[in-house]
């Protein structure tokens, strides 16, 4: 097929996504996880099955993008405090689990007659869970933001760090180990002299120093620079640039981290996300700008499937079985015991065990390097791959089992959990005063006597803006609407409003609404960042104008009030109060401090 040969990148993306879609849909139909479909799609386009063969090194690189975006998104949900809060369990937990898995792997390697070095590489490869699988699993079950989820992610971060170290150390160890695994040439290429222990210690030291330097750069400079950059871009009023900024930050930091500091892409992206997570707004905004993430995550699974040689299942079924047992049972039992030993409840232990009972990308990288260095027989890599595929396949089942056990305990836990997270927020903002008015449609209230020929400016003419606009028109007001969407503009015209087409965050568009003569400005767009830009500009231009803004969270309320909104109305709160009103009557909102 000429097209596939001429454009291998496009062919890989297209065929990977199309097949993943078809197989994923089929899997869904059969009531199994779509991940299984994605993996099988990979096997189908891999070199070990007949038919089209996609370019596996390209697929692998594409998959890396998926890993970066996913890890960035995980970081967005994860603050430094979260990380610190779980370090007392995640650190020893991960270390012990890596130790146990490595020992089990060495035992299997011994049984298969491999060298000790092969056993170490093999065992390490079995000890580190896949970021993609873990985050997908936690996200799907909405436990990423629970304490269990935090422990699992923190644990994963420690494993990631350990693997970064392992990847750097392996070549050095290969130089040392077992006498003559490496030729002098390879040693030289890897920058190793035969200095032995001194060289090894230096390598460890340099690696740790690099990771520490990266962390320091991110926590000191990145923490200020990245949110500032996003904020700045948001204020240009261009959504396109904002999205671009998010991708540039996620990918740029990950790449820079790998190039400059030798840190994995995943870890770099995670840190980039984490420094953004402190501002809830930038976090939300960044998340919304990440629609590519899922597509690339799918390519990750396809690329894993591609590496798989199904033949190994026939050649060495016992080895495969033992590998899977180490990953699924051995590691889980170890994790379970550790978490319990630290006094966490059984359902926490079960969730963490289940989420870590699989292996993925790091394992392939490690096994590949081991084979390259002549430490691990290729058979070892095949076993790692088989172990990865099978453990990813059964992971949903393991989770279902673990979550089944969780059910007994889930109630007190989930009830307790959201509090600390939400604690600083409730009603601390100036929202209540405004939003406790039961009427979400602002009736003419406290009007500043209309001396000039006033008009009302409504930004956004969707579900919220249209109701306001129609109401104002019915009351005989002059209304100017700013809208981006064609159909919404048409609706505004129909209601008899004057319309301005364009993004209200664009200073020129906003200026055209002639705020100087307006009575008020209704900012009804849902996105808080954009709304903030509108409010800020309007307030700067018109210190006295009344600005009413729609919000969806306490953080957004605070943000907009800070930028100059006179009144913020929280959509969700009004919905809740209206519903509550049915049961308790219009005084339902007394609980939030009535006037
Ligand atoms: P709804 O969430 O249904 O109230 O719809 C919000 C409306 O706001 C949609 O019609 C959007 O097209 C519009 N909108 C969103 N952002 C902007 C913006 N920056 N400038 C103008 N209109 C916007």
pLDDT-derived band at 410, boundaries 50, 70, 90: very low
The DSSP annotation for 83-126 comes to: HHHHHHHHHHHHHHHHHHHHHHHHHHHHHTT--HHHHHHHHHHH
Cβ within 8 Å of residue 389, ≥6 positions away = 39, 304, 305, 308
* Composition of the chain by helix, strand, coil, percent to 5: 70, 5, 25
Residue 533 CB less than 6 A away from ligand 1: no
- For ligand 1, atom 18, which residue shows the shortest CA distance? 503
Instruction: Provide the token pair at 576.
Output: 């809740």
CB of 468 sitting under 6 A from ligand 1: no
Query: pLDDT per residue over 426-452, tens digit each?
Result: 333 333 334 443 444 444 445 555 455
Q: Is the shortest distance between the CB of 322 and ligand 1 below 6 Å?
A: no
Nearest 5°: the CA angle 22, 295, 240 is 140
Average pLDDT, the chain: 82
Q: Packing angle between helix 378-407 and helix 317-325, nearest 10 degrees?
A: 40
Is residue 319 pLDDT above 90, yes or no? yes
Q: Tell me which of 97-106, 479-488, 578-587 is least confident.
A: 578-587
CB 548 within 8 A of CB 560: no
Average pLDDT over residues 525-531: 88
302 CA from centroid of ligand 1 (Å) = 37
- Where would I find the beta strands (DSSP E) of 119-219? none
Residue nearest to atom 11 of ligand 1 (CA): 460
**532 Cβ closer than 6 Å to some ligand 1 atom:** no
Which secondary-structure segment (H or E) carries 470? helix 465-474
Per-residue pLDDT of 463-486, as tens digits, reads 999 999 999 999 999 999 999 998
Residues in CB range of 525: below 8 A, 6 or more apart: 459, 460, 462, 465, 504, 531, 534, 550
For the CA of 505, the closest atom of ligand 1 is 19
Query: pLDDT tens-digit profile of 371-383?
Result: 888 899 988 988 9
d(C-alpha 252, C-alpha 470), whole Å: 46
What is the three-class DSSP state of 67?
helix
Percent of the chain with pLDDT over 70: 85
C-beta separation of 132 from 297 below 8 A = yes
Paired strand residues for 522: 458, 548
Q: Is 488 in the pocket of ligand 1 (CB under 6 A)?
A: yes
Protein residue with least CA distance to atom 15, ligand 1: 525
pTM of the model: 0.66
pLDDT tens digits, 529-558: 889 889 999 999 999 999 999 999 888 899
Ligand 1 atom nearest the C-alpha of 503 is 20
| Pocket lining: 460 vs ligand 1, CB cutoff 6 Å | yes
Which ligand 1 atom is at minimum distance from the Cα of 488? 10
Query: Which residue has its alpha carbon closest to ligand 1 atom 13?
Result: 460
Q: What is the pLDDT of residue 324?
A: 95
* Structure confidence at residue 8 (pLDDT): 87
Cβ of 482 below 6 Å from ligand 1? yes
* pLDDT tens sequence across 1-40: 566 678 888 988 999 999 999 999 998 888 777 878 898 8
Select from 61, 68, 64, 49 the least CA-distant residue to 8.
Answer: 61
Contacts 24+ apart (CB under 8 A), 109-115: 109/380, 111/322, 112/319, 112/379, 114/376, 114/377, 114/380, 115/178, 115/375
- The CA-to-CA distance between both ends of the chain, in Å, stands at 74
What number does the ligand 1 atom closest to the CA of 531 have?
A: 19
Res. 254 pLDDT band, cuts 50 70 90: very high
Residue from 460, 491, 574 whose mutation best tests the ligand 1 pocket (most atoms within 8 A of CB): 460
Ligand 1 nearest-atom number relative to CA 504? 20
How confident is the model over 124-153, as pLDDT tens digits?
Answer: 999 999 888 898 888 888 888 888 899 999
């Amino acid at each position: 097929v000429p097209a596939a040969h001429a454009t291998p990148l496009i062919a890989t993306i297209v065929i990977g996504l199309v097949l993943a879609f078809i197989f994923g849909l089929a899997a869904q139909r059969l009531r199994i996880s779509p991940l299984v479909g994605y993996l099988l799609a990979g096997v189908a386009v891999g070199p070990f099955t007949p038919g089209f063969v996609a370019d596996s090194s390209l697929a692998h690189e594409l998959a890396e993008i998926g890993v970066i975006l996913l890890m960035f998104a995980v970081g967005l949900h994860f603050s430094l405090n979260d990380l610190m809060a779980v370090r007392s369990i995640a650190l020893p937990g991960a270390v012990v689990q890596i130790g146990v898995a490595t020992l089990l792997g060495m035992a299997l390697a011994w049984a298969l007659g491999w060298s000790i070095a092969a056993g170490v590489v093999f065992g390490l490869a079995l000890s580190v869970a896949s970021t993609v699988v873990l985050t997908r699993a936690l996200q799907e079950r909405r436990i990423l933001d629970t304490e269990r989820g935090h422990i699992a992610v923190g644990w994963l971060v420690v494993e990631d760090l350990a693997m970064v170290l392992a990847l750097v150390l392996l070549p050095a160890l290969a130089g040392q180990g077992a006498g003559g695994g490496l030729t002098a040439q390879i040693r030289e290429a890897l920058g190793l002299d035969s200095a032995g222990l001194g060289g090894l210690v230096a390598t460890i030291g340099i690696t740790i120093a690099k990771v520490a330097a990266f962390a320091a750069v991110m926590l000191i400079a990145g923490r200020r620079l990245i949110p500032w950059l996003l904020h700045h871009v948001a204020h240009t009023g261009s959504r396109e640039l904002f999205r671009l900024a998010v991708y540039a930050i996620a990918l740029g930091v990950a790449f820079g981290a790998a190039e400059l500091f030798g840190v994995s892409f995943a870890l770099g992206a995670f840190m980039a996300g984490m420094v953004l997570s402190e501002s809830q707004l930038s976090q939300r905004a960044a998340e919304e700008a990440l629609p590519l993430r899922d597509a690339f995550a799918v390519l990750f699974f396809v690329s894993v499937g591609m590496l798989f040689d199904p033949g190994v299942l026939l050649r060495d079924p016992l080895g495969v079985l033992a590998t899977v047992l180490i990953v699924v049972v051995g590691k889980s039992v170890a994790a379970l015991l550790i978490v319990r030993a630290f006094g966490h409840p059984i359902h926490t232990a079960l969730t963490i065990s289940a989420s870590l009972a699989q292996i993925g990308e790091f394992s392939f990288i490690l096994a590949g390097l081991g084979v390259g260095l002549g430490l691990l027989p290729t058979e070892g890599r095949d076993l790692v791959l088989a172990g990865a595929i099978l453990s990813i396949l059964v992971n949903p089942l393991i989770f279902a089992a673990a979550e089944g056990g969780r059910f007994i305990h889930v109630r007190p836990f989930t009830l307790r959990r959201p509090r600390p997270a939400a604690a600083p927020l409730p009603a601390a903002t100036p929202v209540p005063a405004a939003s406790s008015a039961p009427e979400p449609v602002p009736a003419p209230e406290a009007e500043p006597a209309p001396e000039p020929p006033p008009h009302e400016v409504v930004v956004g003419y969707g579900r919220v803006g249209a109701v306001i606009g129609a109401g104002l028109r019915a009351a005989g007001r002059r209304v100017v609407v700013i809208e981006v969407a064609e159909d919404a503009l048409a609706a505004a015209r129909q209601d008899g409003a004057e319309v301005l087409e364009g993004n209200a965050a664009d200073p020129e568009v906003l200026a055209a609404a002639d705020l100087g003569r307006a009575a008020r400005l209704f900012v009804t767009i849902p996105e808080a960042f954009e709304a903030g830009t509108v409010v800020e500009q309007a307030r700067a231009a018109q210190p006295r104008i009344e600005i009413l803004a729609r919000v969806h969270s306490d953080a957004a309320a605070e943000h907009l009030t800070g930028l100059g909104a006179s009144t913020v109305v929280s959509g969700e709160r009004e919905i809740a109060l209206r519903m509550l009103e049915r049961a308790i009557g219009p005084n339902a909102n007394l609980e939030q401090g009535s006037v």
